[in-house]
Structure 1
């Protein structure tokens, strides 16, 4: 065999290897399962909020993309997969506050939580965080000013 044949075969093998490396892996469908919209702890908190704030609308598990907007793709990518625990609205469905119920998974995530709060604050939303489920009286005291 000539040197050109060997070089040609080597180039061919390299091209096949590169082509197979750039192929996307087969994506397989995995089973889809139902999931509760709220954890048991969030359900307890939701019930207390409903009792404490009967004239307010409380929406759980709201996508940031439903309450924030921007023209830039980079900025949108910073919030498009985030979820607010609860969005508190007045009787006219104006958002008056975002309520977050933190649990032990938030330990060590203070910077991420601060960045989330900063995005919401930039849009003009108040963010109230609770580490423990507050009493109905505490909720009324904390949120009264937002629901006038």
Structure 2
């Protein structure tokens, strides 16, 4: 049996601010260290704590499919994805902004359909099995009530039955008004 000394095995290089192409000054701002005379070791440790962050994928696979179908089916509209409810719904003057905004603070819509002038026409939610969870159902009801109170149309589609382009177009056909003489 061959015994290898651990001093002969190179340890993997740990990420530091130089690896990310950051100056020492920028790394201090990012890591939140307040003492500019902190040692290089302290700076590297703080930067490594930040190394747990990664880029997230914004849309799930079904959301990506639906996004592309929406864009293709409704070319005269803007389709926005993962929009916070508080960016779409506002609090009317005379009401307690903080109290009402806190009710919708961390909610988001999967898609927001806008006209070319960025006016919101409808919002779309894509539901999967997680929406069967009682807590999630409560959140969905809160979002439904807030959206309805603002006079916005909310469509819910399930990931197991994504609409095709013609079904999307049919869902957004302007209602035909029939007058009886």
TM-score (norm 2): 0.61
1:64 equivalent to 2:93? Answer no
Which of 104, 107, 115 aligns to 2:129? It is 104
Which of 107, 120, 123 aligns to 2:147? It is 120
Name the counterpart of 2:9.
none
Q: Cα RMSD over matched residues?
A: 1.7
Structure 2 Cα separation of the partners of residues 67 and 39 of structure 1: 22
Structure 1 Cα separation of the partners of residues 174 and 139 of structure 2: 27
The total of aligned residue pairs comes to: 119
| Stretches (4+) displaced over 4 A | none
Shift, 1:88, TM fit: 0.1
1:51 equivalent to 2:72? Answer yes
Structure 1 Cα separation of the partners of residues 167 and 111 of structure 2: 17
Name the counterpart of 2:167.
138
Structure 2 Cα separation of the partners of residues 41 and 126 of structure 1: 22
User: Which structure has more helix as a fraction of its residues?
Assistant: 1
Name the counterpart of 1:3.
none
Structure 1: state its 5+ residue gaps: 1-27
Shift, 1:69, TM fit: 2.0
Which of 58, 74, 84 aligns to 2:99? It is 74
1:89 equivalent to 2:114? Answer yes
Farther off after superposition, 67-76 or 38-47: 67-76
Secondary structure of 2:172's counterpart equals helix
Farther off after superposition, 124-133 or 30-39: 30-39
Name the counterpart of 1:41.
62
Name the counterpart of 1:15.
none
TM-score (norm 1): 0.74
Which of 32, 39, 53 aligns to 2:53? It is 32
Structure 2: state its 5+ residue gaps: 1-45, 176-181
Structure 1 Cα separation of the partners of residues 155 and 174 of structure 2: 12
Secondary structure of 2:110's counterpart equals strand
Shift, 1:72, TM fit: 2.7
Name the counterpart of 1:23.
none
